[in-house]
Structure 1
Amino acid sequence: MGSDTQPFDLAVIGAGPGGYVASIRAAQLGMRVALIERDRLGGICLNWGCIPTKALLQSAHILSLMRRAEEFGIHADNLRADFGVAVKRSREKAQRLSKGIEYLMRKHKVAVFSGEARFTSAKELEVGGADGKTKGSIRAERILLATGSRPRLLPNLTVDGQVILTSTEAMLLNRAPASMIIIGGGAIGVEFADIYQAYGTAVTIVELLPTILPYEDEEITALLHRSLTKKGIKILTGTKVEQVIVEAGKAKVRVSNNDGNKELSGETVLVAVGRVANSEVGGLKELGVATKNGYVAVNEWMESSIAGIYAIGDLVGAPLLAHKASHEGIVAVEKMAKLDDVTPVDPRRIPSCTYCHPQVASIGLTEAKAKAEGYTIRVGRFPFSASGMAITLGEAEGMVKVIADATHGEILGVHIMGAHATELIAEAGLAIALEATPEEIAKSIHAHPTISEAVAEAALAALGRPIHV
């Protein structure tokens, strides 16, 4: 080790929600921690994903509510919306939280290095600057990769930031375009469709698979499809994009499905067809770290094929979710510290959330998946149209759906579309973690009137004794 090489117990590459959370937990456990980030603390999630998009969605939701103001006895004449101001607000919120991460790093005495990390051995890293020159060297007994992902692009398609966009460019426009074609009907595509539709953009979603949000419960996605269509969003499922052509500052998208071929025209095209892992860490390939389908292969404790090198988050595969990355980071460092009560991440206990309006959230098995795995199930449904609180809020679309094992009573999955779904799913997550039954949820007294009563009512419905439907 050279005289200018700094020693640490753990070096973390990437300061997104996986990396910075792992760094804090490691520091709490007494480790000397180095955190290396080439851009901003908080990573893509905080700076270009989770946080700014939710700020934009909140602006869009308020605008949509204001258009319905007369329902609530409020007259909002001459209503104006400034998309540029909404974007500016979203950037301010992201920057504020990024500075909050800086404070947390100082508080926990995590050494932060700005630059690009490169392996020189399994325990040594160089940190390079934007000019390509080495800024410093780090030696660590363990190295944790948390480099995240980037938008997946379509072949032969150039992102120009004006007509052809990824999610990054889509949250930086200073005005809402007249029309937008969104390629991809997953969470990113659906959320941006909701944002831009609220600001007057004519939105068309093109999805290759049979449904939007293809990994959610089919009954829930059918409800969302109907809700978004009612808003005026056009949705083409089972549709393949054949070609995208930019002419005279506009886009022509040629698509095909069972009805034949057609050409769509739009001022902008948003490519939202998933994400690609940032696995091109310098020197990693040379070390021989095993990969699978472009992701770093890890064991249940997030350790790679090379002892002492770990990977978490988007880098190790689906689901590509911030909270999954954070939890994996905690599991990895707690295992490094040899804590007795560490348990591996259970994929069935990872909630999935889509923050459009109405929201969609789920955890556990879908109805189709539960049947495919051989379970005999009981399904309970409770519509928000029967919820007193949902009605008073003017948000009576959607339902809570509880899927339980008919033999043992264990809750296998919970699926929600409707108001505050992304908050309600936490109760379902706790129930699944504790292997609770619908009976136990039903016996937990839910305050009235609340949206959360819908969870208890759906549990009662799974037992065959709902009260309010």
Structure 2
Amino acid sequence: MVVGDVTTGTELLVIGGGPGGYVAAIRGAQLGLDTTLVEKDAYGGTCLNHGCIPSKALISAADVAHDAKHAEDMGVFADPAVDMAGMTEWKDGVVTRLTKGVESLCKSAGVNLVSGTAEFADEETVRVAHGGEGQGSESIAFEHAVVATGSRPIQVPGFEFDSEYILSSRDALALESVPDDLLVVGAGYIGMELSTVFAKLGADVTVVEMLDDVLPGYESDVAEVVRERAESLGIDFAFGEAARDWEELDDGIRVRTTDADDEVSEYNTDRCLVAVGREPVTDTLGLDAIDLAPNEDGFLATDDQARTDVDHIFAVGDVAGEPMLAHKGMAEGEVAAEVAAGEPAALDQQAIPAAVFTDPEIGTVGMTEAEADDAGFDPVVGEMPLRANGRALTLDEKEGFVRVVADADTEFLLGAQIVGPEASELIAEVGLGIEMGARLEDVAGTVHTHPTLSEAVHEAAKAARGEAIHTR
């Protein structure tokens, strides 16, 4: 039976149930707003279902297998067998638990959950098409709306995803067997994370990158540590090359690339993972109906209250622009809901951390030394190499460093760059320091537990003050 179109109303409408969207919905409901969340796929969005969580689950599993196999220096000898199908099943279990948790949290908060794809009919109404034949549609009138439709992998022309030979990151995370050979197009954070996973699981991995190094946007000495570790895992790199075309062979595919001189290189491989970045999803929203257009980069521009150019419509998360980070989207979601509820909220983005879960990890927050200099500060830098940190050595992880950046005159913390084990966790200390207006002396004067990796943050702060004890 076809369900006829009905119209309902809500005070706060959230389109998209990813990190930014579900947080906005829960916060709106907490503040007493009648809140409706529309999600077309699965609660938790790309992050929980096809990105952050499943990739980190596979990274952890691959690390267990690899570390067990390469622990001879510690006196441990093992040859673990990898059941990729079993690993994927375990990863899917983690994902399911979290997505069900998000749905449960929304329901507990009193959020009205609607399944379907929302498209603006006008500035006060969306039309929601329900999935499935005969499921019909409905209209929802709203007072405020939050757009949280996220992003999707960018497709390279001629390399459209087919889930068989040409893989998106989502496809790669769903593989039930490890390919013998894997070609990765793109050496950004997604390409490097997944390259490392499959190399540790036994694949022969080659990475093709248009630029001259891995991890564009990161300082060269940070990228160098990650690249050298990747090379030690057997990953080959071809820099200065762009994917041109491919053809199917009897036993896989052949991918052709070109360099700046139009020289052609060929790579025979089982699968090709294309990981050249992500683009915001706005084409399903019917933005013409509300006279709202993406900017030249495809994002919905917002102010510090997450408002778009249409005053009562907000945008949060990847669709609202860089940095495309789940925790940034969550912070924006809270602000949007609070503003919609009449609260005096605004976003302060001076200390949003970022992490790359390569081997070793990267954690950054605030400014680099060059950025601080460009901003008019007189930066002072302190650094602690992990080869001088006791805990790092007991983990057999001596490569990497902790670097803090501060203003020389005031000693206010401005930023940090960490490359090493647990960098994604360590960076939070500096992020908190920046947010609180802490100075170098505050970090240097705080007693840190020994032996821990966090001592490297302490020592870097002392080094910036010329008081280093454990480094020269």
TM-score (norm 2): 0.94
Question: What CA deviation, in whole Å up to 9, does each residue of 1:355-414 have, x standing for no partner?
Answer: 122111101112332333343221111111111111111122211011112222222210
Please name the residue that 1:279 is paired with.
282
Alpha-carbon contact 1:354-1:422 (below 8 Å) kept? yes
Q: Secondary structure of the equivalent of 1:157?
A: coil
Work out the CA distance in 2 between the residues paired with 1:406 and 1:177.
Answer: 51
Does 2:314 align with 1:310? yes
Please name the residue that 1:103 is paired with.
104
Q: Any stretches of 5+ residues in structure 2 without a counterpart? A: none
Q: 2:434 aligns with which of 432, 435, 449?
A: 432
Structure 1 window deviating more from structure 2 (309-318 vs 236-245): it is 236-245
Structure 1 window deviating more from structure 2 (121-130 vs 16-25): it is 121-130
Matched AA of 2:324: L
- CA drift at 1:288: 0.8
Q: 2:291 aligns with which of 283, 288, 292?
A: 288
Question: What CA deviation, in whole Å up to 9, does each residue of 1:296-337 have, x standing for no partner?
Answer: 122221111112111111111111111111111111111222
Q: Secondary structure of the equivalent of 2:46?
A: helix
Please name the residue that 2:342 is paired with.
338
Matched AA of 2:316: I
Change (3 A) 1:132 1:386: farther
Change (3 A) 1:310 1:134: farther
Alpha-carbon contact 1:255-1:264 (below 8 Å) kept? no
Please name the residue that 2:444 is paired with.
442
Alpha-carbon contact 1:61-1:357 (below 8 Å) kept? no
Please name the residue that 2:86 is paired with.
85
Work out the CA distance in 2 between the residues paired with 1:261 and 1:155.
Answer: 17
Matches for 1:252-271 after TM superposition, within 5 Å: 252-257=255-260, 260-271=263-274
Question: What CA deviation, in whole Å up to 9, does each residue of 1:258-286 have, x standing for no partner?
Answer: 79542222211110011111101343222
Q: Any stretches of 5+ residues in structure 1 without a counterpart? A: none
Please name the residue that 1:123 is paired with.
124
- CA drift at 1:19: 0.3
Q: 2:160 aligns with which of 158, 161, 172?
A: 158
C-alpha RMSD of matched pairs (Å): 1.9
- CA drift at 1:4: 4.2
Alpha-carbon contact 1:243-1:255 (below 8 Å) kept? no
- CA drift at 1:44: 0.6
Change (3 A) 1:123 1:267: same
Question: What CA deviation, in whole Å up to 9, does each residue of 1:411-445 have, x standing for no partner?
Answer: 22101111100000111110111122222111111
Matched AA of 1:270: L
Alpha-carbon contact 2:6-2:137 (below 8 Å) kept? no
Please name the residue that 1:466 is paired with.
468
Q: 1:321 aligns with which of 325, 345, 348?
A: 325
Q: Secondary structure of the equivalent of 2:19?
A: coil
Structure 1 window deviating more from structure 2 (177-186 vs 54-63): it is 177-186
Q: Secondary structure of the equivalent of 1:137?
A: strand
- CA drift at 1:74: 2.9
Work out the CA distance in 2 between the residues paired with 1:381 and 1:325.
Answer: 31
Work out the CA distance in 1 between the residues paired with 2:460 and 2:315.
Answer: 38
Does 2:407 align with 1:405? yes
Once the two structures are aligned, what percentage of the paired residues are identical? 37
Alpha-carbon contact 2:17-2:45 (below 8 Å) kept? yes
Q: 2:66 aligns with which of 46, 64, 77?
A: 64
Work out the CA distance in 2 between the residues paired with 1:262 and 1:70.
Answer: 38
Please name the residue that 1:381 is paired with.
383
Please name the residue that 2:194 is paired with.
192
Work out the CA distance in 2 between the residues paired with 1:200 and 1:258.
Answer: 34
Question: What CA deviation, in whole Å up to 9, does each residue of 1:214-234 have, x standing for no partner?
Answer: 122222112211221122111
Q: Secondary structure of the equivalent of 2:144?
A: strand
- CA drift at 1:59: 0.5
Q: 1:229 aligns with which of 218, 228, 231?
A: 231
Alpha-carbon contact 2:386-2:401 (below 8 Å) kept? yes
Work out the CA distance in 1 between the residues paired with 2:278 and 2:228.
Answer: 27
Alpha-carbon contact 2:372-2:379 (below 8 Å) kept? yes
Alpha-carbon contact 2:116-2:130 (below 8 Å) kept? yes
Change (3 A) 1:454 1:35: same
Alpha-carbon contact 1:411-1:437 (below 8 Å) kept? yes
Alpha-carbon contact 2:126-2:140 (below 8 Å) kept? yes
Structure 1 window deviating more from structure 2 (105-114 vs 390-399): it is 390-399
